[in-house]
Structures are given as C-alpha cells and as structure tokens.
Amino acid sequence: MTAPAELTLVADIGGTNARFALADITAGAPLDQSSIRAYPVTAFPSLADAAAHYLQEQGAQARSGVFAVAGRVDGDEARITNHPWVISRDRTAAQLGFHSLHLVNDFVAQAMAVALLQPQDVAQIGGASWQPGAAGQSRTYCVIGPGTGLGVGALVVRDGRNYPLPTEGGHASFAPASPEQIRILEILSAQFGRVSNERLVCGPGLVNIHRALSEMAGNDPGLLRPEQISERAQAGDPLAVRAIEVFMEVFGAVAGDTVLVQGAWDGVFLTGGLVPRLLDSLRHSGFRQRFESKGRFTATMSQVPSMAIIHPCPGLLGAAAYAVDAARHTEGVVA
C-alpha cells in the first residue's frame, strides 16, 4: 500500500492469534482492511517481535500503536489470559521505535468499534433498528460477547468524545427465569458453587447447559466440545437443540439486564467468536423475547436495538477508533 504521512499499528492479541493491521487516523475509514494479518502467538517470543515481523512483512513504518489484549491491563503492563506473554508498554514502544503506544483491554476495543461501525457491519436482531449516531450526539451503548468467556463493556459518547468502559459484567450472578433454568442452576451450583452468567453464556457455557439438560433427562453425553453440540443440533438431536435454545434465552436475558444496568438505551452490540456462527439461531430463538421481557420496562426494551456485529475484525476496528480518538485529545506522549 502507499504509506500515508502517519500510520498507526493496531493489534488485537488473544491467547491463540495476534492480529495486526495499519490505520491512517486522518482517513474517514481509518482501518486498512487489506493490511490485516494474523499470526499464531506461539510463533514469537514477544509481542514486540510479532509486531516487528508484521511491519517488516508489510514494508511499512509506524510511529504509534494501539494494542488490544485479551487480559488485564495494569498500568504499564498487560498479561494475556491464556498465553504467557507479559507485555510492558514502555519496553514494547522502545523496541518498536514508537512515540506513543496504548495498551487496552480487548473489550475496550470491542466497545470502541461501535464508533466506526456502519449498517453493513451489523445484523439486526429483533424489530428495533439502529443507525450510527450523528456528530456531537450523546449515546450510550453496551457491548456483550460470548467466546471462551463472556465479555461485557460499554461505550459512552459525550461531547464528541468516546469513553469505553471495560467491565466484568460477565461475572454477575445468573438469574434463572423458568423452572427448567432453576434446575440448571441447581445442577451447576453443585459443581461450581456460585454460578455466574459466564457459566452459561460462552462456549464452555453451552457445554454446561447441555450437560445439565442431559442430567435432567437421565443421559450421560460424555465430554463434548461446543462445536459438537452445534453439530448435533443441526442433525436434529433434541437435547442439543434445546441446549442452544436455552443458551439463546439466557443470552437475551443477560443482554437485556446489561442494558438496564448501564442505561444503554441506544443499543446493545453482540460480539465475540460465537456470534457470527450462531446468527441464524439468534434470529430464530427466544433471544429477543427474553431481552425485552423486563416487566414494567418491557415496552422500553422493545425500542432498544440489539445488533450482532458481523464485521470480520471488530477488535482491530476498535483499536483504530481508539487511535483516532486518542489523537484528537493527546499529542506526542506514550500513554
């Protein structure tokens, strides 16, 4: 690609893959999707080595970066939850020759992605529609994503500034809404003690639901992976079909609760590795009914959009949005 005057290197770092791309923060669509590359994290001794390899492979130079990591960011340091990399912001910036480098939690990036999403990047779930906010318009959104775990965040837009809010909302307590779900809670409580929403709404959570339903039916399903349950459901297996239905019902209830807690009346965005694969199930399940079913707030909830993100790399899109927003408010500092 022809290099613009100033490039920012953006990254989305998980426990398995490191994804990189180039962003031009002066462009209307800052993320250069043609520059996206992914590498296994096990191929490099450090994040700096992976980033340097990417830049060399692209024949590109960058003076700044925004790296979103699937783990806790504590000051200058970040640790990947499912990989031994320990990332120092200052050391990584020095190794790459950056004048500024931002380390952010992956759900900060997921939330920031909302600022750049276009209608073609999302799929509407339910009857309430969404359009990107006009410049200067105050908005509050929540973002929720089942993958290996359940990520929850928010994006607050005020006075032209985007404020992403990472949370640990996935660890809020599960609230059953039917006798069947009460029994599932009892079974999972016997195993885990306290049962959070993440115990049901994520890949391993689908396995937990299927195992509980199997126990209720007097069956032993053996050790299954989430994709095996999905395959069984597609083949018409009744327990697998019901497990996905329960998953969607709980997912909808949790998403609706998150809107209530955060005051995210402008919409909830569904993200994470499972969402694109379960898009058809989302559209034809009890997700939206349980999302709206909030007693005296049911009418209000019926007006709140729920949108599944189908953009291929929302983490990178959000890192680019973060870079644009940071450039507007900070100049020339490692932050």
Looking at residue 145, its pLDDT comes to: 93
Rounded CA separation 270/328 (Å): 28
| CA nearest neighbour of 146 among 269, 11, 1 | 269
Rounded CA separation 88/84 (Å): 13
Looking at residue 333, its pLDDT comes to: 39
Looking at residue 1, its pLDDT comes to: 45
Looking at residue 329, its pLDDT comes to: 75
Looking at residue 284, its pLDDT comes to: 94
> At residue 169, what is the residue type?
G
Structure tokens belonging to residue 72: 């806790």
Q: How far apart, in Å, do the first and last CA atoms of the chain sit?
A: 28
H-only helix segments in the chain: 47-58, 89-96, 106-113, 179-192, 203-217, 226-234, 238-262, 274-277, 279-283, 287-292, 298-301, 314-329
Pairing of strands 161-167, 150-158: antiparallel
Kind plus residue range of the DSSP H or E element containing 79: strand 77-79
Please, what CATH class does the domain formed by 169-309 belong to? alpha beta
Looking at residue 328, its pLDDT comes to: 82
Give the Cβ contact number of residue 238 at 10 Å. 11
Q: Which residues are annotated as a binding site?
A: 11-16
Which residues belong to CATH 3.40.367.20 in the chain?
Answer: 169-309
Q: Which residues are annotated as a binding site for ATP?
A: 11-16
pLDDT tens digit string along 234-246? 999 999 999 999 9
Residue ranges of the chain with pLDDT lower than 50?
Answer: 1-4, 331-335
- Quick one: CA dihedral 213, 217, 218, 220, positive or negative? negative
Rounded CA separation 162/152 (Å): 17
Judge if pTM exceeds 0.95: no
Looking at residue 5, its pLDDT comes to: 52
Which one is the CATH code of 1-105+311-323: 3.30.420.40, 1.10.645.10, 3.30.70.870, 3.30.1490.20?
3.30.420.40
Which residues belong to CATH 3.30.420.40 in the chain?
Answer: 1-105+311-323
Catalogue the E-assigned strands of 202-328: 268-270, 306-309
Q: Per-residue DSSP letters for 22-40?
A: EE-TTSSS-EEEEEEEEEE
